Chain A
Amino acid sequence: MEIPYTIETRPDTGLTNPKLGIWLFLASEVMLFGSLFSSYVLLRTGAETWPVQSSILNVPLATLNTIILISSSVTMVLSWAALMMNDFAKYRLYMGLTFLAGVGFLVVKAFEYGAKFAHVPPLLPSTNNFIAIYFLLTGLHGLHVVGGMVVNGYLWGPGSKMWRTEPAKFTNRVEVAGLYWHFVDLVWIFLFPVLYLL
């Protein structure tokens, strides 16, 4: 059965169904990350001592990842703008760059995790509450990056065939994928200072 209102807007909401759907999904994601941020605040404020986070974590690498993720948000929105201007070649370029930025983010993160495991003694989730919540928050965020990359990779590759047959529907798909990707960026914007700098 065809999902209704994927191109034209619903008269009652004034939105397409996928757009309303993704915003409601993102609202649930706010609560997911919010519960973990809340746990972090409670753990930290309730602890008698708390490690100096910036002395344990790698601030330059995290700054690099922040730059990568913000840049990927720009390329993502530019890929949508390219479709709006009927420039499919540019869309492929920007969406490809977005995907590569996701790869870059995960590679940097792998170096960061590797350094924690190689540390003597190893810094593991069992080490202390801070390391535990660091791995939990960044790991969950990393999984969200992977999920976004799967969708972006599909829309760059096999999924882009839809542009030839249903360009409006394809453009909306890219917009919805973009909303998710920007949210992943948005979460990192808070994770970066909270975990690495404070």
Chain B
Amino acid sequence: MAHTAHSTAHDAHDIHAHVRRYYQVFGALMLLTGITVAVSYLHMPVIPAVIVALTIASFKAALVAAVFMHLKGEKQIIYWSLYLTAVFFVLLFALPMWTEGDHIIGTRPDEWSAGAEAPHMPKGSPAPH
């Protein structure tokens, strides 16, 4: 084979094994999609529904990344790039939640949501929502 970058890692036998794995993962992804849709018809409360749906979605995403994107067995530099991305991704979610968390979990003072000015805000500022 002419593919120098790959041929060292994948001979024809390896590729056939990969192809079998692709079909297995395809089957697993279809099954998990069916389960995701079926679970949604159970009309579970929001929190358990979110946990179940995102757990299945994460498992599907991991299969796609590991097998189709060949992340399994990839070079360290790619792993480290993705670890760094994961850190920033978590921060991206955590920082707004940190600032808005009291509103979300219902611990923000009642007078805020009633439309009064927040204590630290200058007069005339719009009430937070």
Contacts and interface: CB of A to CB of B under 8 A. Distances in A.
A178 B64 CA distance: 11
Interface string A20-50: 1001100100110011011001100110000
A78 B77 contact: no
Given A45-B104, A63-B33, A38 B85 contact: no
Contact of A74 (B1, B10, B23, B37): B23
A186 B66 CA distance: 12
A198 interface: yes
B85 A31 contact: yes
A77 B46 CA distance: 36
Nearest to A63: B37
B82 interface: yes
Main secondary structure of the interface of B (DSSP, over half): helix
Contacts of B69: 178-179, 182-183
A113 to B, nearest CB: 21
A41 B93 contact: yes
Interface string A185-196: 110011011100
Contacts of A108: none
Chain B interface residue count: which class? 35 or more
A198 B61 contact: no
Contacts of B15: 81, 84-85
A149 B10 CA distance: 27
Interface string B77-108: 11001101100110011001100100110000
Given A27-B85, A67-B33, A193-B56, A84 B1 contact: yes
B29 interface: yes
- List 7 tightest A-B contacts by C-beta distance, closest first: A193-B53, A197-B40, A27-B85, A168-B3, A167-B2, A45-B104, A74-B26
